[in-house]
Amino acid sequence: MLISGFTMVKNAEKLYYPLKESILSILPIVDEYIIALGDCDDDDDTLRMIQEINSPKIKIFNTKWDVKEYAKGSILAYQTDIAKEQCSGKWLFYLQADEVVHEKDLETIVSTCKKYSGDNMIEGLLFRYIHFWGDYNHAFTNNHEWYRNEIRIVRNRPEIHSWRDAQSFRVIPNFTKSKYLEKEGTRKLNVARVNAKIYHYGWVRPPKLMGKKITKFINCYKETTEIISEIEYGPLGRIPLFTDSHPNIMQSKINDFNWSKDLNYSSIRKSNEPIHKHDKLKYRLLSKVERLFFKNGLFTFKNYTLIRK
């Protein structure tokens, strides 16, 4: 078995995650797809979403989310590790429930896994990212405040763990649950780049559902009664247009887009709109400088060691 796919998820249906699309996007190239399915709310139908795929490759493991025991977002890393530990492939392909792969990249991904299969120095593969914002026509690819690259394929080794809030992975010898949040005693993975992209749709939701998603996300970090009713995406006229193609599997989701009336497509911020980090003057200038002179970013944290081959 060459590649196992895996993810963790909770309340994907009620929070408008493209989970089904995410799974289907890499299902053709994996031998199994492991899902750690959290204890979803009574009004959520995530299990049905998964079952509708009707694939023998999919294996579901039911889990409980204990945010008190795994604080500051580490519950997400713990749930990711639950799924990872059930994988039997040589390479493990992790997708979060709002991440999708383009069909044009599948062959390249498989060939890259085969290329480095015997090179034990390479512990993971690094993908470029496209972060969509507000709708399916605006996206960030090289802005300072959005991560440009991330590890999404790792070797099946027990010392490799999800880290912090599950954005990435680290080598963590002598693992204990407290080390999800620590740098000391851990090590960055040695990675090679794969010529493929992750299409991140985590910020493409109707404003009210985006508010609910953020509220749930905050609750993974701390106990709070804070409720975000909805989000204002701000002036989309300042966000780069996405002119390439989306993965085919996303077309139905794109056809369902129906909240354009709630978006500001001008370049002028309305009085009630917050200033998001990417729209602050400091970061807009820094992003411009990086695009002109520093292709891989400036003063950005990189949780990997890129082996140039």
Q: What is the per-residue pLDDT across 83-123, written as a single tens digit (0 to 9) for each?
A: 999 999 999 999 999 999 999 999 999 999 999 999 999 99
* Average pLDDT taken over every residue of the chain: 93
Position 282 pLDDT exceeds 90: no
* pLDDT recorded at residue 292: 58
Domain count across the chain: 1
Mean pLDDT of 205-229: 89
What's the chain's length in residues?
309
| Confidence category of residue 143, pLDDT binned at 50, 70, 90 | confident
Check if the beta carbon of residue 305 is closer than 8 Å to that of residue 160. Answer: no
Q: Is the pTM of this model over 0.85?
A: yes
| Confidence category of residue 293, pLDDT binned at 50, 70, 90 | low
Which amino acid is residue 264, in one-letter code?
A: N
| Confidence category of residue 288, pLDDT binned at 50, 70, 90 | low
Q: List all residues 6 or more positions away from 59 whose beta carbon is below 8 Å from its beta carbon.
A: 32, 33, 34, 35, 86
* pLDDT recorded at residue 283: 66
Tokens 């709002």: give the residue: 98
Task: Indicate the range of 113-122, 138-147, 176-185 predicted with least confidence.
Answer: 138-147
> Could you tell me the CATH number of the domain that includes residue 270?
3.90.550
What distance, in Å, lies between the first and last C-alpha atoms of the chain?
25
| Confidence category of residue 297, pLDDT binned at 50, 70, 90 | low
Q: 140: domain range?
A: 1-309
* Range 130-140 burial, b when 16+ CB lie within 10 A, else e: bbbbbbbbbbb
Task: Indicate the range of 41-55, 173-187, 248-262 predicted with least confidence.
Answer: 173-187
Residue 195 or residue 277, greater confidence: 195
Position 269 pLDDT exceeds 80: yes
Position 299 pLDDT exceeds 60: no
| Confidence category of residue 301, pLDDT binned at 50, 70, 90 | confident
* pLDDT recorded at residue 1: 84
* pLDDT recorded at residue 223: 72
- Determine what percent of the chain is predicted with pLDDT higher than 70: 94
Question: DSSP letters along 130-165, please?
Answer: EEEESSSSBEESS-TTS--EEEEEEE--TTEEEETT
